[in-house]
């Protein structure tokens, strides 16, 4: 059994690999936070999970798959191996991996040597998958938001972080993503000088118009000052620092990135522009851009141009259209500071699209900071179908689908989202209708209870596989891919709540 702790980037890599090989029964994750490593409580949590893993029927060996923070915080690995092996009667071993693992000469062994010291296997592990998949991280969310081609994205992190992102969450067309080449002394004396040197060399080629420095778990732990690096770059290129810690999810990362990008472009807001700014979009969160084609055609018919945050601003937008929860924070800033009206809506179905067109036309003509949002509100509609529906995903997007089916006579509806971080929980509470409709799920038990109570579940396919593995009864599952769960596989052509694939499924459902 492998036990792994640390930030979400490492855990997702392990989870995806185990799932692909059909070995999730041999992986047990330990949920830690950034505070666990700074306050010294990580070792206690890890020890508890190691003991739980050793108690699983059929386990002969438990391997602690070390992440960089485990090594940096100098957990007493020898003591951990010795005492837990004696206490549990099961061999416990620490596997040093990654760039920092190789730097620990006293403990590091190549994997073939490490495996050769383990006893021969016999029997099998009797263990059902009991854990939810780790969510895409804030680091992935920031990179997903930024321009694909003409902006460099530099991870202030060991190279293994980029490899983990590449294997699961980075879109295949995403370019310009780099990781620092680090040495042992960088983690003692700081990585700022090294970061300035490597970024200067990278930008000297003239390939990129902007530099984005994205910190992760290791950088945050050692107190990396990304703003100092950005201010130290000796060029006229735009340089930004995104201070992430790898322990929050992609929704939080996109939200932070879009707040920074919105604040950056405010210098252009002295004059109005015939633009509608789209906030909250990133492929991981929302799916393919093509889903907005009909909406963009209508916007252009009114004489306005749709623009995604991060693209060059022509002036103050006439309207902000928010398409996911991650865009709400930036939108409210522009609403409060510049009186830009807001429309929070994922209009699924013709009724919602008619209302969306009406709101766009009216809000583009208003002179005040009005906010309108799509939410289930008409309780006088006749019930036509008694089946219970469960939607799992981004609250704004699931509200759009639920609203459409509400108008088709489905009135037994629950909206849920997966969330393990305090920061994203706060964001979700600002989603339209969240106070009445939203259930925030942070455990497999809670999800299973909701799942088994529903007749039809709209959710990412990876969650459906998890439910099957624990024996949850699924009456009907309709795929609602969400990159926060399943990574870039959710971002294919036709994806998104306004996309072709879901539209086809809804038509079949209401026939």
Per-residue confidence (pLDDT) for residue 469, from 0 to 100: 81
Per-residue confidence (pLDDT) for residue 121, from 0 to 100: 87
Longest alpha-carbon distance in the chain? 74
Average pLDDT value for the chain: 92
Per-residue confidence (pLDDT) for residue 359, from 0 to 100: 97
SS3 content of the chain, % helix, strand, coil (to 5): 45, 15, 35
Q: Report the SS3 class of residue 483.
A: helix
Pairwise pLDDT comparison (474 vs 270), residue with the higher score = 270
**CA separation, residue 347 to residues 184, 448, 465 (Å):** 52, 29, 29
Rg (CA), the chain: 24
Residue 370 to residue 340: CA distance in whole angstroms? 8
Lowest mean pLDDT among 4-13, 103-112, 314-323: 103-112
* Helices 138-145 and 159-168, packing angle to 10 deg: 70
Residue 343 to residue 396: CA distance in whole angstroms? 12
**Alpha-helix residue ranges (DSSP H) falling in 364-491:** 395-406, 422-428, 434-437, 444-453, 461-469, 483-486
| Residue 22: CB atoms within 10 Å | 8
HEC profile for 294-315?
HHHHHHHHCCCEEEEECECCCC
Per-residue confidence (pLDDT) for residue 402, from 0 to 100: 97
Per-residue confidence (pLDDT) for residue 302, from 0 to 100: 97
Per-residue confidence (pLDDT) for residue 9, from 0 to 100: 87
Residue 164 to residue 170: CA distance in whole angstroms? 9
Per-residue confidence (pLDDT) for residue 135, from 0 to 100: 96
Residue 472 to residue 486: CA distance in whole angstroms? 20
Pairwise pLDDT comparison (72 vs 41), residue with the higher score = 41
467-507: per-residue pLDDT in tens? 888 888 778 999 999 999 999 999 999 999 999 999 999 98
Residue 385 to residue 405: CA distance in whole angstroms? 10
> Is 70 exceeded by the pLDDT of residue 129?
no
- On whether the CB atoms of residues 33 and 8 are closer than 8 A, the answer is no
* Helices 395-406 and 350-363, packing angle to 10 deg: 120
What single DSSP character describes residue 22?
A: T
pLDDT band (50, 70, 90) for residue 101: low
| Residue 53: CB atoms within 10 Å | 26
Mean pLDDT of 344-368: 94
Residue 187 to residue 96: CA distance in whole angstroms? 17
Identify the helix (H) or strand (E) that includes residue 239.
strand 238-242
Identify the helix (H) or strand (E) that includes residue 411.
strand 410-418
Residue 179 to residue 158: CA distance in whole angstroms? 6
283-297: per-residue pLDDT in tens? 999 999 999 999 999
- On whether the CB atoms of residues 282 and 492 are closer than 8 A, the answer is no
Per-residue confidence (pLDDT) for residue 105, from 0 to 100: 62
Residue 377 to residue 375: CA distance in whole angstroms? 6
Residue 289 to residue 308: CA distance in whole angstroms? 10
Q: How far apart are the first and last CA of the chain?
A: 47
| Residues pairing with 439 in the sheet | 416
Mean pLDDT of 297-322: 96
- Give percent of the chain with pLDDT exceeding 90: 72
């Amino acid at each position: 059994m492998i036990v792994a702790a640390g930030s979400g980037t490492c855990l997702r890599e392990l989870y995806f690999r185990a799932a692909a090989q059909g070995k999730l029964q041999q992986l047990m994750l330990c949920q830690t936070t950034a505070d666990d490593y700074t306050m010294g409580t990580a070792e206690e949590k890890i020890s508890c999970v190691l003991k739980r893993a050793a108690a699983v029927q059929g386990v002969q060996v438990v391997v602690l798959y070390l992440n960089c923070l485990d090594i940096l915080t100098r957990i007493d690995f020898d003591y951990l191996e010795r005492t837990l092996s004696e206490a549990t009667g099961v061999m416990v071993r620490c596997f040093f991996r990654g760039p920092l693992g190789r730097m620990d000469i006293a403990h590091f062994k190549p994997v073939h040597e490490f495996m050769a010291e383990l006893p021969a296997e016999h029997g099998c592990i009797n263990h059902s998958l009991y854990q939810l998949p780790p969510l895409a991280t804030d680091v992935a969310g920031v990179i997903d938001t930024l321009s694909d081609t003409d902006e460099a994205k530099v991870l202030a992190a060991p190279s293994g972080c980029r490899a983990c992102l590449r294997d699961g969450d980075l879109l295949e067309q995403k370019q310009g993503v780099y990781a620092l080449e680090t040495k042992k002394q960088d983690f003692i004396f700081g990585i700022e000088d090294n970061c300035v040197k490597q970024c200067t060399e990278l930008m000297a080629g003239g390939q990129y118009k902007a530099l984005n420095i994205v910190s992760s778990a290791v950088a945050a732990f050692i107190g990396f000052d990304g703003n100092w690096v950005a201010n130290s770059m000796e060029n006229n290129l735009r340089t930004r620092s995104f201070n992430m810690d790898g322990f929050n999810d992609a929704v939080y990362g996109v939200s932070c990135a879009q707040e920074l990008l919105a604040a950056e472009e405010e210098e252009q807001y002295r004059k109005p522009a015939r633009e509608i700014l789209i906030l909250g979009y990133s492929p991981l969160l929302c799916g393919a851009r093509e889903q907005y084609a009909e909406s963009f055609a209508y916007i252009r018919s009114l004489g306005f141009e749709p623009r995604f945050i991060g693209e060059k601003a022509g002036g103050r937008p006439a309207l902000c259209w928010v398409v996911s929860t991650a865009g709400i924070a930036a939108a409210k800033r522009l609403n409060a500071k510049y009186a830009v009206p807001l429309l929070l809506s994922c209009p699924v179905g013709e009724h919602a699209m008619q209302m969306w067109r009406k709101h766009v036309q009216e809000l583009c003509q208003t002179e005040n900071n009005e906010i309108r949002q799509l939410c289930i509100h008409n309780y006088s509609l006749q019930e036509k179908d008694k089946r219970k529906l469960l939607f799992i995903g981004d609250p704004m997007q699931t509200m759009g689908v639920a609203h459409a089916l509400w108008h088709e006579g489905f009135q037994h509806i629950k909206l849920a989202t997966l969330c393990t971080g305090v920061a994203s929980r706060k964001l979700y509470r600002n989603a339209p209708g969240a106070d009445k409709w939203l259930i925030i799920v942070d455990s497999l038990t809670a999800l299973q209870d909701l799942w088994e109570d529903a007749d039809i579940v709209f959710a990412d396919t990876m969650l459906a596989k998890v439910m099957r593995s624990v024996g949850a009864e699924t009456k009907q599952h309709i795929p609602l891919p969400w990159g926060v769960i399943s990574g870039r596989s959710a971002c294919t052509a036709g994806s998104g709540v306004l996309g072709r694939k879901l539209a086809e499924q809804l038509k079949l459902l209401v026939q």
